[in-house]
Amino acid sequence: MKAAAVFLLFVFPLAVPAAEVKLPKSVYSPLFRDPGEADSVVGPLLVDKTPVTNQEFLAFVTAFPQFSKSKIQPLFADGGYLAHWLGDAAFAKGEARFPVTHVSWFAARRYCESRGKRLPTIAEWEVASDARSSRNEAKIMAWYGRPGARLRDVGAEPANKFGLTDAHGLIWEWVDNFSESIMSGDSRGGSSTESLFCGGAALKAKDPKMYATFMRFAFRSSLNARYTSVNLGFRCVRDMDGGGE
């Protein structure tokens, strides 16, 4: 009889565990609604208050060197992985509290798993970030209009109504099911993929004025799990024991 394979998940300690905020049970309304599709319930769950930082990610790659800059396999990240770091265990002075970026979905997901957590779903992130409030819609659009905005320490901005900081105006964030954000074109050329006109798909949304939301979904639909970007990071969530309210 062959011995069964055993997979162990090692959880590494951090000197200061990431602060978490509680997302209560909430209702998520899909951006694009299929006939008969209803709203869904998300939560309750615990969400990292801030995105994962360079310092926190350094602790991870120290414990799991296969995810270091020089050892990551091409299957799990493109050539831009941790491109802003100075080496496997070094980043620029003063950037310890900057959100880690240039990380792939594979690396972000493994980081969260190593902490006993996971990446949020689209629905969970959309609700927890309060992305569709009029105030945040305006903030997001202003950020979209400033390409190349510099990073800064996490936690510098006021928290949103759930207690999260930096959900908008700092970085994009990976979600676990990003690949479900499929955006078709407006079919101007007779094919759903021939003309990927960003504004056209917004007409299919329940509210065509939700440009910021549409652009967020369009960005997700362009991603591949190996991709990295100068302003793409992540935060983790954790299911609440017992599913308390």
- What pLDDT digit, counting tens, does each position of 58-81 carry? 999 999 999 999 999 999 999 999
This prediction's pTM: 0.80
pLDDT, one tens digit per residue, over 156-208 is 989 999 999 998 888 989 999 988 765 444 433 443 333 333 444 444 545 55
Picking from 122, 121, 123, the residue whose alpha carbon sits closest to that of residue 26 is 123
Residues 6+ apart with CB under 8 A from 70: 87, 88
For residues 138 and 132, what is the distance between their CA atoms, to the nearest angstrom? 10
- Ordered structural domains, the chain, with CATH: 20-29+42-243 (3.90.1580.10)
> Which of 1-15, 119-133, 221-235 is the least confident region?
1-15
Find out whether 39 and 29 touch, Cβ atoms under 8 Å: yes
Residues 109 and 10: beta-carbon distance below 8 Å = no
Contacting residues for 27 by C-beta, under 8 A, at least 6 apart: 39, 40, 41, 42, 127
Q: How confident is the model at residue 242 (pLDDT cuts 50, 70, 90)?
A: low
178: its two tokens: 């990003």
